[in-house]
Amino acid sequence: MSSHLIRSFVAVDVFSPEIVRGVRAIQQDLLEAGVLGRPVDPESLHITLIFLGELESPMVERVRECLSGIEVRPMRLLLRGVGYFPGGSRVNTIWIGVEDIDSRLMAVQREVVSRLSGLGFKPDKDFKPHITILRVKGIRNKPEVLSRLSQLSSHTVGEITVDRVKLKKSTLRPDGPIYEDLQVYGPTQSA
């Protein structure tokens, strides 16, 4: 008997009306410049602290328990600078950079990774906080898109304070992923 797998990750949600407006404007600008792809819903923006992969329910419960009681202090984040992966002239993912004003985001990410390392989870790369805003399928006018990305490289979207870390589930769908909170950790921890 095969168990249902849950695509899981630990993240910090980033939501405010100011951020949503700023991200929508950048997405629209880049789509008009020639990016062909799917914008991320600005109301679902998040910073992934660690991607856990496809987990069976008992492992999700173990992750939930490992993170129980984690201290999450308010984190001031500045969303500034639009960039892309993998780099050079290849554009697969467009993101907004995150500046950790008081270093609390980095501290909570290290704590999450430390707590989960006993379950065998390791980050797949160095943590570079960012928020994905566009998944690129192709580019119609590469010189124009690269020029716009260069112009946006120091653009400030806004500042936000967040005080919750979430264990999240991602359900992949043709029209984009659907995210669901499995557990919230913060000042008022809830199921």
In sequence order, which residues have a C-beta less than 8 Å from that of residue 57 and are 6 or more positions away? 3, 4, 6
Radius of gyration for the chain, computed over Cα atoms and rounded to the nearest angstrom: 17
Question: Which three-class secondary structure state does DSSP give residue 48?
Answer: strand
What is the pLDDT, as a whole number, of residue 188? 54
Report the percent of the chain where pLDDT is more than 70: 96
The angle subtended at Cα 44 by Cα 39 and Cα 49, nearest 5°, is 105
Mean pLDDT of the 82-87 span: 95
Q: Is 130 a catalytic residue?
A: yes
**pTM for the model:** 0.92
Instruction: Answer yes or no: is pLDDT of 33 > 70.
Output: yes
Instruction: Answer yes or no: is pLDDT of 170 > 60.
Output: yes
Tens-digit pLDDT profile for residues 171-190:
998 888 899 999 999 975 55
What is the pLDDT, as a whole number, of residue 14? 96
Active-site residue identified among 104, 115, 130, 148: 130
Please give the Cα distance from 66 to 117 (Å, whole number).
10
Active-site residue identified among 46, 148, 164, 168: 46
What residue ranges define each of the domains in the chain, with the CATH number in brackets? 5-182 (3.90.1140.10)
Q: Is 46 a catalytic residue?
A: yes
- Mean pLDDT score of the chain, rounded to an integer? 94
What is the pLDDT, as a whole number, of residue 125? 79
